Structure 1
Amino acid sequence: MATEIHASVLHAAKDLRVETRTVSPPAADEVQIHIASTGLCGSDLHYYSHFRNGDILVREPLSLGHESAGIVTAVGSSVSNFQPGDKVALEVGLPCEQCQRCKQGRYNICKDVRFRSSGKCFPHFQGTLQERVNHPAKWVYKLPEELSMDVGALLEPLGVALHAFRRSLMPENATVVVFGAGAVGLLCAAAAKLRGAGKVVIADIDAGRLDFAVQNGFAHASYTVPMRRGKDIDESLQIAKETAEEIGKVDGVGEVDVVFECTGVPSCVQAGIYATRPGGRIMLVGMGHPIQTLPLGAAALREVDIVGVFRYANTYQESIDIVLQAQKSSEGPDFSKLITHRFAGFEDAVKAFEMASKTKDADGKLVLKVVIDSSEDAKARL
């Protein structure tokens, strides 16, 4: 029997409405989940603000949200590894599982993947800003009791960082630089640090974010990127070289084995190429400017690999292990501190999205990760 639920639904740019929907009982291979915590990410903000994400247009009302955790409320007839009451996280991209990429385990680049809250596939695969969703049990993961729902929601962006780390082929005791101290940059820094990097330097224009990163164990050191812009490409590349040289002087960094570029800003990508040692790698994690002018000769002549990163594959269990490892470490990081702002219920979704578009709130507090709490006792807990 179908159940009535509430959902946050985007109808146009900045036009979010709370609506009633129905959810049917789960299919044989599905579990039904009451969504308790959903983090807002950059793609959600693009859809909210512009009703599009780059070239991807929203063509029908869409529930946003894809960083989520919740409680199992019902299980399908063929599901034996979950039961009502289980605390879980959702992996929301469903690949075809038949193409060559899927069979290679690279299902994140399956051309037919359906991803919740993305406008790429049509009809759109509705996101997790709904009270309940049915989801294939294969793509659901039990959370240890010691992990909160908010941290369970963070496993999705942590998967991006872990996937980037894996593709970096980072050598043991490596020197790492991360450009961008937003949530994904902080998670990339944490993943590299917890997986054996000898030194992790994080770079950003925001000194407050850098202080947060170092003080809370996400990185060993930081560099404040100066607000310098060249009048032409030659001057811009010279500034990028100088930035790379200055980063090399931070805390005796020297040559950099791996750069995680999490901004997508051309000046940072350029500086990242110059900062990387011969034979090193720069990981393109940030989805920024689609067309850029890059010093490819500087990369090619030193055999610096430029490697793309898109979402993640096969990361959830290891992401859980990384968070548990951090909780046992005296040096951190404390992933829960990434959650800086929480809003109760879909009625406050507009406030949540508006907050997520800022770098600081009205009190001057950093805005890193905003979460919408849709648990049954959300308002009581806040």
Structure 2
Amino acid sequence: MSPVALPVATAAVLHGATDLRVEQRTVWPPRAGEAQVAIFSTGLCGSDLHYYTHGRNGDFVVREPLVLGHEAAGVITALGEGVSHLHVGQHVAIEAGVMCRSCSHCLGGRYNLCPRLRFASSAKTFPHLDGTLQTRMNHPAHLLHPVPEHCSPERAALAEPLSVVLHALRRASLQPGHTVLVLGAGSIGILAAAVAKALGASRVAAADINRARLDWAHGHGIADDIYHIELSSPSSTSTRSNNNAEKNSNSKPGDESIRRARENSQHALKVFGALEGFDIVMECTGAESSAQMGIFCARTGGKLMLVGMGTPNMNLPISAAATREVDILGTFRYANTYPSALALLGAGVLRGVDDLVTHRFPLEKSEEAFTLMRKGFDDHGNVVLKVMVQSTTN
């Protein structure tokens, strides 16, 4: 009997910093409890870009060839033993984090905190778990979520970053009528503003150092008001000499940055006409200066939601938060969000969501996709928001 020929997948594999190779890999049949998925679309995110640019994302260093990508959707091509709730030909969104399902966090519904969680395209665990920048992959069936009718694979791929936002807004206890300020108008910030508005926020504002992103968010009706953060505070010129003298005598390291953050916040709240601050501030950059500004922009009794992950250690004005009872909340990925995220995407209630994908590349040109992300603007001067890699023709 002649051996059965196994299918071959094309994959974009990272071997080191800026060393991305398109390779052919054998695709094995799905094991029990798994399904095989032909990937249609993968959205690239900031962690993918860090791995591509530096060969690491924070403390997580790539130690073996790794397929990047974790924002993806596709169609089921084969089922492993015991999988009965899915069928071949069904469109699904892929939840990338594989939890143990037996620890106290998993059993308590907070599986994003599972200590044994393996995340596709992350180098945190070893051996690494390959991501979705490939034409076909096997994945646990319970982490494949049916896509609603009339929801394209490209839109369904946004369920992953949308889940980050939904989880954060749940932790912030967003209620209809709340006012929301989003710091950082990248793809996560834009989705945060869009979801807050869809869930009943009475006012959604956005601030960023990138004016083009702010203009995009405002032009698409996602942000009611916008504020362009200058790289220096509004009063920095007039107070520089006095501040230099103070720094030389009584100032502590970090005081200057907090002073600038306070000034920027006061100016932004004045421009917004919201001098008492916002009920919820969504910090979506991970930058220290942005988190500092977020504390001052939250109203007394409000909340600062730390969504972005960047600076590992921050100097924060804790007394300004404590004396006004501003809650500072952290968030890590998501749990139990995909059904709600896909329902929102299928309902078409998120403003500008289809325009969020500004650039598309075939899998074979993944390196060009990452190069464009690093630039932030294309050759025509258009802003880059979400870059989508298309692995298989739908």
The reply to whether TM is greater than 0.5 is yes
Higher Cα Rg, which structure? 2
Which among 262, 272, 290 is matched to residue 241 of structure 1?
A: 262
Residue 279 of structure 1 corresponds to which residue in structure 2? 301
Mapped contact 2:148–2:343 kept (Cα < 8 A): no
**What is the deviation of 1:251?**
4.0
Please give the residue correspondences for 1:103-182 in structure 2 after superposition, counting only pairs within 5 Å.
Answer: 103-182=107-186
Deviation sequence 1:2-40 (CA, Å, 0-9, x none): 322211111111111111111111123111100110011
Deviation sequence 1:293-331 (CA, Å, 0-9, x none): 110011111111111111111111111122234x2x5xx
Which among 346, 350, 368 is matched to residue 385 of structure 2?
A: 368
Residue 330 of structure 2 corresponds to which residue in structure 1? 308
**What is the deviation of 1:234?**
2.7
- Single out whichever of 256-265 and 222-231 deviates more from structure 2: 222-231
Residue 288 of structure 1 corresponds to which residue in structure 2? 310
Tell me whether 1:22 sits opposite 2:40 in the alignment: no
Residue 353 of structure 1 corresponds to which residue in structure 2? 370
Residue 261 of structure 1 corresponds to which residue in structure 2? 283
Mapped contact 2:190–2:222 kept (Cα < 8 A): yes
Tell me whether 1:339 sits opposite 2:357 in the alignment: yes
Residue 248 of structure 2 corresponds to which residue in structure 1? none
Mapped contact 1:175–1:253 kept (Cα < 8 A): no
Give the TM-score, by structure 2 length: 0.91
Q: Which amino acid aligns with 1:304?
A: V
Deviation sequence 1:63-107 (CA, Å, 0-9, x none): 001000001111123222221211110001011111111111111
Give, in whole Å, the separation in 2 of the partners of 1:237 and 1:60.
41
Q: Which amino acid aligns with 2:52?
A: Y
Tell me whether 1:207 sits opposite 2:211 in the alignment: yes
Q: Which amino acid aligns with 2:274?
A: V
- Local SS of the residue matching 2:354: helix
**What is the deviation of 1:122?**
0.6
Tell me whether 1:323 sits opposite 2:323 in the alignment: no
Tell me whether 1:184 sits opposite 2:188 in the alignment: yes
Give, in whole Å, the separation in 1 of the partners of 2:16 and 2:258.
40
Mapped contact 1:258–1:282 kept (Cα < 8 A): yes
Deviation sequence 1:93-144 (CA, Å, 0-9, x none): 0111111111111111111101000001111001111111111110001112
**What is the deviation of 1:344?**
1.4
- Single out whichever of 362-371 and 245-254 deviates more from structure 2: 245-254
Mapped contact 1:175–1:258 kept (Cα < 8 A): yes
Please give the residue correspondences for 1:43-58 in structure 2 after superposition, counting only pairs within 5 Å.
Answer: 43-58=47-62
Deviation sequence 1:145-175 (CA, Å, 0-9, x none): 3111111111100000001100001233011
- Local SS of the residue matching 1:335: coil
Mapped contact 2:156–2:345 kept (Cα < 8 A): no
Tell me whether 1:73 sits opposite 2:77 in the alignment: yes
- Local SS of the residue matching 2:156: helix
How large is the Cα RMSD of the aligned pairs?
1.5
- Local SS of the residue matching 2:387: strand
Mapped contact 2:208–2:214 kept (Cα < 8 A): yes
Tell me whether 1:7 sits opposite 2:11 in the alignment: yes
Give, in whole Å, the separation in 2 of the partners of 1:183 and 1:108.
21
Give, in whole Å, the separation in 1 of the partners of 2:10 and 2:381.
33
Give, in whole Å, the separation in 2 of the partners of 1:62 and 1:227.
36
Gaps of 5+ in 1: 378-382
Give the TM-score, by structure 1 length: 0.94
Which among 220, 235, 251 is matched to residue 224 of structure 2?
A: 220
Tell me whether 1:100 sits opposite 2:104 in the alignment: yes
Q: Which amino acid aligns with 2:356?
A: L
Gaps of 5+ in 2: 237-243, 245-252
Residue 380 of structure 1 corresponds to which residue in structure 2? none
Aligned residues: 372
Q: Percent identity?
A: 49
**What is the deviation of 1:188?**
1.0
Give, in whole Å, the separation in 1 of the partners of 2:202 and 2:333.
26
Q: Which amino acid aligns with 2:331?
A: V
Give, in whole Å, the separation in 1 of the partners of 2:346 and 2:204.
20
- Local SS of the residue matching 1:6: strand
Give, in whole Å, the separation in 2 of the partners of 1:6 and 1:268.
40
Deviation sequence 1:340-377 (CA, Å, 0-9, x none): 000012x2011011111122111001100111101136
